[in-house]
A and B are shown apart, each in its own frame.
Chain A
Amino acid sequence: QKEVEQNSGPLSVPEGAIASLNCTYSDRGSQSFFWYRQYSGKSPELIMFIYSNGDKEDGRFTAQLNKASQYVSLLIRDSQPSDSATYLCAVGGGSQGNLIFGKGTKLSVKP
């Protein structure tokens, strides 16, 4: 059974701080890694994807991938109240291309 694990939170950070979200996965054959943001009652939206070991930066967001440790993380710098949402880690690839989602981490950014 392929699994993706996330700390459910809630994770609370003050406005302007760095929020760090973590995700581990069980399938060593995974090739693609995604972070989705989901506001309550809304559909998930993609904010970052990463395929290679190391860091990938896009604005205030940085995704980090360590395939040896089967670990992927998302850093949000200068956190804003509008970043308050649930963040879903998704892992895919291998031979089938199906995506497996973690249960999500709820982030709360306090003004």
Chain B
Amino acid sequence: EAQVTQNPRYLITVTGKKLTVTCSQNMNHEYMSWYRQDPGLGLRQIYYSMNVEVTDKGDVPEGYKVSRKEKRNFPLILESPSPNQTSLYFCASKQGARLDLRNTGELFFGEGSRLTVL
């Protein structure tokens, strides 16, 4: 089954304790992206990656790191989490930029990771 898998789905942690949210896709997609979603603010992009070893900042990258060493994985790292990073996080993937009959450009989302930083 084609899917984007995020772990953990739920996490409560404390300020300053490093954590990693993993994201893996089994569709051989070139593009992957991380978003956070907060009430009234919509989906805000944190980082995205167009391919292996290629990453770029989104709208709200501060306090986050990413890496793309393999095509299927795109982990999100919070080196020193703070309470303002409490949010619902989504990872997503899609085929590369070129659109054709087989590539609609659809973005496939993981189920989300709800993070609480105390």
Show the binding face of A for B, using Cβ within 8 Å.
Answer: 8, 31-32, 34, 36, 41-46, 49, 51, 88, 90, 92-93, 95-104
Contacts and interface: CB of A to CB of B under 8 A. Distances in A.
A97 B31 contact: yes
A49 B106 contact: yes
Contacts of A49: 104-106
Contacts of B96: 97
A70 B31 CA distance: 25
B40 to A, nearest CB: 7
Given A8-B40, A42-B112, A103-B43, 10 more contacts: A34-B106, A41-B88, A41-B112, A43-B90, A43-B112, A44-B107, A46-B107, A88-B43, A97-B98, A101-B45
Contact of A97 (B35, B41, B50): B50
The CB with the most chain A CB atoms within 10 A, among B40, B99, B110, is that of B99
Nearest to B41: A103
Closest 6 A-B residue pairs measured CB to CB?
A97-B97, A103-B42, A43-B109, A101-B43, A32-B105, A46-B106
Size class of the B contact interface (CB-based, 8 Å): 20 to 34
A32 B43 CA distance: 18
Contacts of B88: 41
A51 B90 CA distance: 25
B52 to A, nearest CB: 15
Contacts of B43: 44, 88, 101, 103-104
Contact of A92 (B40, B56, B105, B110): B105
The CB with the most chain A CB atoms within 10 A, among B96, B99, B105, B107, is that of B105
Interface in B63-90: 88, 90
A32 B50 contact: no
Given A34-B106, A34-B107, A46-B107, A101 B99 contact: no
B34 interface: no
Contacts of A45: 109
B25 interface: no
Nearest to B6: A43
A36 to B, nearest CB: 8
